[in-house]
Amino acid sequence: MKNKQTHQHTDQSQLKHQYRNPDILREADSILSDLPETLIDSYLATRYQIWIDSALVTLKIGCPSAPLAALMQMTSARNAVYVTACNPGSRIVPLDVNQLAMVRLYEKLAGCSNHIYQGAGIDPTGKWPAEESLLALDVDLPAARLIGKEFRQNAIVWIDSAAMPRLVLLH
């Protein structure tokens, strides 16, 4: 009996993000993700940077962004997606493969949005290389999920009408 309780406690502690964190969105039919908690922690810690005109804006999961809110208001955008095509499945691939994938991603997003901004996902620990990324305004959550899956990403960042970035787990 004691071993079973200890095992239950460990399982519950490992689910800290997946079950309780309101800044993480999952598929409607999925309670848990099969992504490791350490990887989810990395995504939560990442600084999602974008260039808006000549200003560098940093988005953090769960923290509303005043500059992004102003941009969304100015463009009448209801939401946005921040996504990369680099390193699918969190596996490093050659630079030329990432560059070609980013061109395809830009073309895909241009079919959904008239407002696309360049950026980069930055690991604050420096263990993972910066990943070129794009922010596209007025891309709803179902479309954002499909785009992330098409480019074989584990997660994307979706921004709601309050300019609140949320991590969206795709697996």
The pLDDT tens digits along the chain (171 residues) read 334 343 333 344 444 444 456 566 555 544 456 788 889 889 999 999 999 989 999 999 999 999 999 999 999 999 999 999 999 999 999 999 999 999 999 999 999 999 999 999 999 999 999 999 999 999 999 999 999 999 999 999 999 999 999 999 998
Beta carbons of 139 and 79 less than 8 angstroms apart: yes
In this structure, are residues 59 and 112 in contact, taking their beta carbons and an 8 Å threshold? Answer: no
Q: Cβ atoms within 10 A of the Cβ of 70, count?
A: 13
Total count of domains within the chain = 1
Give the H/E segment covering residue 58.
strand 55-59
3-state SS class at 24:
strand
Burial 36-49 (b: 16+ CB within 10 A, else e): eeeebebbbebebb
**Is 154 in contact with 161 (CB distance < 8 Å)?**
no
pTM of the prediction? 0.84
**Domain span at 127:** 2-169
**Segment holding 51, helix H or strand E:** strand 47-52
